[in-house]
Amino acid sequence: MKNRGEINVTKYSGEKAPFDVEKLRQSLQRSGAKEKVIDAVVEQVLPILYEGISTKEIYKKAFALLRKKERPAAARYNLKKALLQLGPTGFPFELYVAELLKAKGYETRTGQIVQGNCVQHEVDVIA
């Protein structure tokens, strides 16, 4: 098998790029995972790499491992994907945010038009 630095991955765009272990580490760090957990996840992801593996496949494996070791960090690691699953319009996300704020005791309104100094603005959520 090739040295890990020589393996090319297939990005979402279809473009090929060399695998960069630091990008994987940084994405795990942004989730708030502990260094010890990051080391363990990276150690288990490296052996499954092969020429042309998709970044999506690497993400799925890293997420599954992280979920077993540190669930709160895994939830944060999955946040971008979860938001994208709400749909392209953004409307479901507005309702979701409104419900979160309601649960915290706020009164909320969605889809409001507010007059600015020069023009009107649509405000997704008012709390």
What does the pLDDT look like over 36-79, one tens digit per residue? 999 999 999 999 999 999 999 999 999 999 999 999 999 999 88
Please check the confidence at residue 18 and state whether its pLDDT lies above 50. yes
pLDDT of residue 16: 96
- Output the average pLDDT for the chain: 90
Among the ranges given (5-14, 15-24, 74-83, 116-125), the one the predictor scored with the smallest mean pLDDT: 74-83
Q: Are 57 and 7 in contact (CB under 8 A)?
A: no
Residue type, 46: L
Rounded alpha-carbon distances, angstroms, from residue 78 to 59, 69, 82, 84, 117: 9, 14, 6, 10, 39
Give 1's pLDDT tier (boundaries 50, 70, 90). Answer: very low
User: For residue 9, what is the enclosing H or E element?
Assistant: strand 8-10
Domain boundaries, the chain: 4-82, 87-126
Please check the confidence at residue 4 and state whether its pLDDT lies above 90. no
pLDDT of residue 2: 44
- Residue 38: closest CA among 49, 51, 29: 29
Among the ranges given (28-42, 58-72, 90-104), the one the predictor scored with the smallest mean pLDDT: 90-104
